[in-house]
A and B are shown apart, each in its own frame.
Chain A
Amino acid sequence: MDRIEVSNLNRQFLFRLQDVGKPKAEVAAKRVMERVSGVNIVPHFCRIEDKDLDFYNDFSIIVLGLDSIEARSYINAVACSFLEYDSEENPQEETIKPMVDGGTEGFKGHARVIMPGVTPCFECTIWLFPPQVKFPLCTLAETPRTAAHCIEYAHLIKWDEVHSGKTFDPDDPEHMKWVYSEAVKRAELFGIPGVTYSLTQGVVKNIIPAIASTNAIISAACALETLKIASGCSKTLSNYLTYNGVEGLHTKVTEFARDKDCLVCGPGVLIELDTSVTLQKFIDLLEEHPKLLISKASVTHRGKSLYMQAPPVLEEMTRSNLSLPLFDIMDKTAKDIVHVTGTTINKGTKTSCLRKLRVVFKGIDGVTDMDTAGGA
């Protein structure tokens, strides 16, 4: 959903100064089609969460040029949701949706290939992306040592002291200038050098430095892996490449392992239900389930919307299903995969999430009795 900014132009070579403000997807599609004949690119200027599962299922490979952990997590869950396992718990090849992911920061970057069910998914190795370390408040308040400490003091402490109730807006230049001048005062008081307006913006807005060459290296690796997966012309990266050019040149391939208990790329959380459980009751249950904690759930089964929270038209169309037994609206299937989207709480913040569930109805064809009671 990004629009082109002037500060993109030092590396995003499909964009020109006259494109500033326009949707990136649209301009990029147009530029590539002008240059390369015979290629067809359909731009979609929207949030990745706005597209339904069927949309993503139409593609053979999903390539991620995303800039946040949340967005990666979401698309990863989408791609993994298509994955199905056979009776021996092996992934079924035709349901594997490969993903190619890349990211950069300054002189560093990574590229990875994810084959859901075969190689670790994004969630299996989520520990690779630890949450951003913020400075302890006591350091900011009492013992600042760096320019960044002074800036965060002005931004996180001083702002609230002076502007009671008014929220700081990082896109308001007046707000930014105020934080800058307070940070300068703070720095002078403690004899700390290095506070500049540019650094203030960088610290407050958490700006990630970026250059054309690192992006070229990482996107080339992603393009090459995508071409190899599509054509089968060579084996692929297995499964995580890092590049670091700060001191000399270091590239390294690490073969990470899957998390056998991963909720996202595993066979799906098993939910056993009586055939009488209504869709409404099922949705309530998702909110309480300790592994899921999904609120405002929308439910789909084999591409069919059972209940949709939005848009209003769809909500109205599917509302009558809520009072019906889930077993009935799933065409009386004894066990099957159901997809649920909604919001969950992740480290204190609400995030969009998608989960694949294995729903099994008790007492049908004796399936569950055998499965669950077998070992007892």
Chain B
Amino acid sequence: MAEPKIKYDRQLRIWGEKGQAALEKASICLLNCGPTGSETLKNLVLGGIGSITVIDGSKVEVGDLGNNFMELNDAVKAKFIEEYPDALIETNPSFFSQFTLVIATQLGEDSMVKLDRICREANVKLIFARSYGLTGFVRISLKVCVLTLKLVIEMFSPSWHSGKHYVNLQKIYQAKAESDVLVIEQRVRNILKKIGRDPDSISKTSIRTFCKNARKLTICRYRLIEDEFNSPIQPELQKYLTDEDYSLAVGFYILLRAVDRFAANYNSFPGQFDGEMDEDISRLKTTAVGLLSDLGCNGLTLTEDLINEMCRFGAAELHAVAAFIGGIASQEVIKLITKQFVPMCGTFIFNGIDHKSQLLSL
């Protein structure tokens, strides 16, 4: 076994021992281990995530992957369960409460909505990832994420030229910071007492860290998937639909949802089977128009080109696209677990045609 300090040196320089310890403590559940799932997992296993549990319905994937993954990093504990994620969400929702974070790949809308509710209730972090032809998305879902960022702040410009004054000033700052910590500590203890909790349940170290980083305190909030699906934020949606920079990305967003409706109606994805292309194109167009009208965008249509393109994808999970989507997803997992960097907000829509991907806040 390699000395972890050396093996992880290049990443310890980014998130430090504390970030690494958080990763090593984390327990991750991955739903579906196709290209997108395995590419996500690969990056986390390499980085030394604590343990992974993989849920996949297909025997081949599960059998194959076990060995491949464990070869990457023998420090990671792994469990492979042969079961369909959709069925697990339906029959055993409490299963998910044991994890730090769930990564759900290639799920349909129905299962996404259900899993989102389960994870919110159990206070488990959740991230969705899906690859579809040359497009796909990544979306974080959790109640709220509060971060104290690790930042190197250059307090003075390089023109500040006297070391002695600088150090004196630094001492003044330190004294002030210390007295601030005492004030905040007093308040924290009072609040804890008031709400009936042990006044010492939050350590002085935690309070000091919090104060030190208060300037860079960040709060991210995420809407319930169900809310976004049923009532996307109208002004934002209208803006995206009319802004040229967003037109492709928002088109893909609508179509990624439309293909799930399509699949529910016709038992296959558009363009999935040869010989039905023309019919699928017109069906997908009708489905997309219907969806847009449900979202309060009556009369709007998407371009023929985009609909044709979506049908051409035929629900294929291209490996290079899966690697990109999986890369983005694992990066956000790392940020959610190490809690030193701001995770993305909104839905990331990948555009593999010209790479003009966008974050949509709906």
Binding site for B on A (CB under 8 A): 6-7, 9-11, 13, 16-17, 106-107, 111, 136, 139, 142-146, 190-192, 198, 202, 207-221, 223-224, 227, 234-238, 241, 245-249, 251, 253
Contact string against A for B residues 333-362, beta-carbon threshold 8 Å, 1 for contact and 0 otherwise: 011000001111100100011111101000
Tell whether, in the assembled complex, residue A220 and residue B323 are in contact, meaning their CB atoms are under 8 Å apart: yes
> Of B43, B345, B353, which one neighbours A216 at CB under 8 angstroms?
B43
Q: Give CA–CA (A213, B321) in the complex, Å.
A: 14
Whether A107 contacts B355 in the complex (CB less than 8 A), given A6-B6, A213-B43, A224-B321, comes out as no
Range of interface residues on chain B? 35 or more
Tell whether, in the assembled complex, residue A107 and residue B343 are in contact, meaning their CB atoms are under 8 Å apart: no
Q: Give CA–CA (A202, B14) in the complex, Å.
A: 11
A210-B11, A217-B327 known, 14 other contacts, Cβ within 8 Å? A7-B7, A143-B162, A209-B13, A211-B47, A212-B46, A213-B330, A220-B323, A241-B355, A246-B341, A246-B342, A248-B342, A248-B345, A249-B359, A251-B357
B71 on interface, CB distance cutoff 8 Å: yes
Tell whether, in the assembled complex, residue A249 and residue B334 are in contact, meaning their CB atoms are under 8 Å apart: no
Whether A11 contacts B331 in the complex (CB less than 8 A), given A143-B161, A224-B324, A248-B359, comes out as no
Whether A211 contacts B11 in the complex (CB less than 8 A), given A247-B342, A248-B343, comes out as yes
Tell whether, in the assembled complex, residue A253 and residue B354 are in contact, meaning their CB atoms are under 8 Å apart: yes
B185 on interface, CB distance cutoff 8 Å: no
Tell whether, in the assembled complex, residue B344 and residue A249 are in contact, meaning their CB atoms are under 8 Å apart: yes
Q: Give CA–CA (A198, B342) in the complex, Å.
A: 25
Residues of B158-179 contacting chain A, CB below 8 A: 158, 160-163, 166-167, 170-171
Specify the chain A residue showing the minimal Cβ separation from B353: A234
Q: Give CA–CA (A145, B153) in the complex, Å.
A: 12
Residues of B within 8 A of A220 (CB): 39, 320-321, 323-324, 326-327
Whether A6 contacts B7 in the complex (CB less than 8 A), given A107-B341, A213-B331, A224-B320, comes out as yes
Number of A-B contacts (CB under 8 A): 161
Tell whether, in the assembled complex, residue B163 and residue A143 are in contact, meaning their CB atoms are under 8 Å apart: yes
Residues of A within 8 A of B72 (CB): 13
B317 on interface, CB distance cutoff 8 Å: no
B328 on interface, CB distance cutoff 8 Å: yes
Q: Give CA–CA (A237, B351) in the complex, Å.
A: 10
Tell whether, in the assembled complex, residue B14 and residue A107 are in contact, meaning their CB atoms are under 8 Å apart: yes
Q: 11 A-B residue contacts at CB 8 Å?
A: A6-B2, A7-B6, A13-B42, A13-B72, A16-B71, A143-B166, A191-B171, A211-B14, A224-B320, A248-B359, A249-B332
Residues of B within 8 A of A144 (CB): 163
Tell whether, in the assembled complex, residue B13 and residue A198 are in contact, meaning their CB atoms are under 8 Å apart: yes
Residues of A within 8 A of B326 (CB): 216, 220
Across the A-B interface, give the 9 residue pairs with the lowest CB-CB distance, nearest first: A216-B327, A220-B323, A217-B327, A249-B344, A220-B324, A224-B320, A143-B163, A213-B331, A212-B43
> Of B46, B170, B341, B357, which one neighbours A11 at CB under 8 angstroms?
B46
Q: How far is the CB of B67 from chain A (nearest CB, A)?
A: 12
Residues of B within 8 A of A216 (CB): 39, 42-43, 323-324, 326-327, 330
Tell whether, in the assembled complex, residue B167 and residue A191 are in contact, meaning their CB atoms are under 8 Å apart: yes
**Most chain A beta-carbon contacts within 10 A, residue among B39, B160, B167, B326:** B167
B8 on interface, CB distance cutoff 8 Å: yes
Whether A210 contacts B10 in the complex (CB less than 8 A), given A13-B72, A216-B326, A248-B342, comes out as yes
Q: Give CA–CA (A251, B42) in the complex, Å.
A: 22
Q: How far is the CB of A319 from chain B (nearest CB, A)?
A: 48
Specify the chain A residue showing the minimal Cβ separation from B154: A146
Q: Give CA–CA (A224, B354) in the complex, Å.
A: 11
> Of A111, A192, A212, A227, which one neighbours B42 at CB under 8 angstroms?
A212
Q: How far is the CB of B248 from chain A (nearest CB, A)?
A: 12
Specify the chain B residue showing the minimal Cβ separation from A191: B167
> Of B3, B11, B160, B343, which one neighbours A209 at CB under 8 angstroms?
B11
**Most chain A beta-carbon contacts within 10 A, residue among B7, B324, B327:** B327
Tell whether, in the assembled complex, residue B342 and residue A223 are in contact, meaning their CB atoms are under 8 Å apart: no
Residues of B within 8 A of A143 (CB): 160-163, 166
Q: Give CA–CA (A218, B331) in the complex, Å.
A: 12
Residues of A within 8 A of B50 (CB): none
Residues of A within 8 A of B356 (CB): 253
Q: Give CA–CA (A117, B86) in the complex, Å.
A: 52
Whether A198 contacts B12 in the complex (CB less than 8 A), given A234-B134, A234-B353, A248-B343, comes out as yes
Q: Give CA–CA (A190, B163) in the complex, Å.
A: 8
Tell whether, in the assembled complex, residue A249 and residue B3 are in contact, meaning their CB atoms are under 8 Å apart: no
Q: How far is the CB of B196 from chain A (nearest CB, A)?
A: 37
**Most chain A beta-carbon contacts within 10 A, residue among B43, B71, B341:** B43
Residues of B within 8 A of A142 (CB): 161, 163
Q: Give CA–CA (A198, B17) in the complex, Å.
A: 12
Residues of B197-241 contacting chain A, CB below 8 A: none
Q: Give CA–CA (A238, B318) in the complex, Å.
A: 21
> Of A139, A211, A212, A221, which one neighbours B355 at CB under 8 angstroms?
A221
Q: Give CA–CA (A106, B338) in the complex, Å.
A: 14
Whether A209 contacts B163 in the complex (CB less than 8 A), given A248-B359, A249-B344, A253-B354, comes out as no
B156 on interface, CB distance cutoff 8 Å: yes
Whether A10 contacts B10 in the complex (CB less than 8 A), given A17-B2, A143-B161, comes out as yes
Whether A223 contacts B323 in the complex (CB less than 8 A), given A213-B43, A249-B332, comes out as yes
